[in-house]
Structure 1
């Protein structure tokens, strides 16, 4: 009888443990990123890993995942900023990586998005600068953007913030789509076409080093256009979110010179419809020690993603922080 009681007790305990495991239903959290050859996709994957802690995971202090309990975050490859913001606005994604320029215009309903505001957009953090790469075949030089007239030019994929900004920049030098043969391609496709001689140049804004460009530089070779200070001031006046920046010599094989170029901040954007407690937990998980290790070891730009710069430019951008993120930053003493 005692043996029977022990068996029943063991089975009951196992049943209760299994019930507890199944009782915690998972919360899925989709993060829109960009093309596989750019920077958004790997960075989005690192963030997704850092904030996740699926049901049944070992506790953080036992060597398990240190994200939000029950959360399964998934990085999805997309066409980047414009698509991500629209999908967050419409509830098709919970979050997305997006450039500050397109995020501001879409939130306010201005520029290309005149009369079509996206009021659900909210910020969790400024992440890192995305430097504009104007990539050309090895041995090619231009004086300024007007020299792209009559050329075959990649202007980034439709649905990207890069394309919106680049078309504005080209217009400053008197160029519209009738003046060059445009190609709407993602980063990997652009690099392949340039290598095959099907493009003369292409634009892409991303955190360096960009994987597809690393491969291009080490195989066919490439050049990067370095803007003059006057040209960068001209661009900044028309597209204020693009600020002077640079790509150091040696980032890409054969590009042994410093490159002056404008850059736009990459933001982690979420929907205002998300629960405050959930976003608080996500923000806290983004800045914990475990995620710090993932960021530092996962990508060169990961080291630039820090809580000390998380709020840089956010107030001036005019897009509100999500209340959950704001609560975390106040508690952490990063926001007064």
Structure 2
């Protein structure tokens, strides 16, 4: 929209903490302005107020799965998930750590002896199980962890197996230590104990989340559930730490998606497919397949190039993004 974003209400949901007490300000020169309410605001109005993302961004062409048209062709050459790459670039700027937060993360790295190679797991329990997600046993997480290390050992020989555990259920540490004694388990039990119940929105809990998110993003591989905001955020942050981190996370439930994302997922065909039944559809290399966000696992979609619909082999596609002409700011 070619406007400057200013956080006029920068309080977070944690103990009345301000954004600029945790992260660096978006700008050192742009300060708060009196703003009019956004719906109904004219485009020529000097200042407009944006509400919650779900209530506003979904009505603009720039909302995910949109990626800038001038960047998308290049990103497709080196990255398996252009949307995650683009969101990751934005978030890596928005979430630049305040010096105190940066010291907190660095201290945790030293205290926990965080060394690589290492796999991170994020096990979300507590209220998540009752409202949004299904239960996943520790063994499901560890199966993916073991696959990673077995693959790594093919080229690197024997390596020390280490995992970083982030969870809101302290018992997860004991279960992994008991069942998988060949692994070195690191993590902060105090962070886990503060991540649920009455302390969930305390300043100490926020510090714990900051540590968990950043240490998970620094892992070589992460096993988690994309139904969790934390898991998706870690995946997005990893995109700014690697050329292509699209295969560095395994989700035990949902596919990746941005919060409030439009309900269509886009897949680009990389291998031609001829329908083998009336229920399938033909696909040519380069075709774009649209799939309902909540039915992606059914592999049923609509071919935007041929107007044909039906089931399709998703392994012959890669998730794609929507090419949208973002402002390029040529005068900057």
Q: Same fold (TM over 0.5)?
A: no
Q: Which structure: larger Rg?
A: 1
Q: Which structure features the higher share of helix residues?
A: 1
Q: Which structure features the higher share of strand residues?
A: 1
Provide the TM-score with structure 1 as the length reference: 0.23
Provide the TM-score with structure 2 as the length reference: 0.23
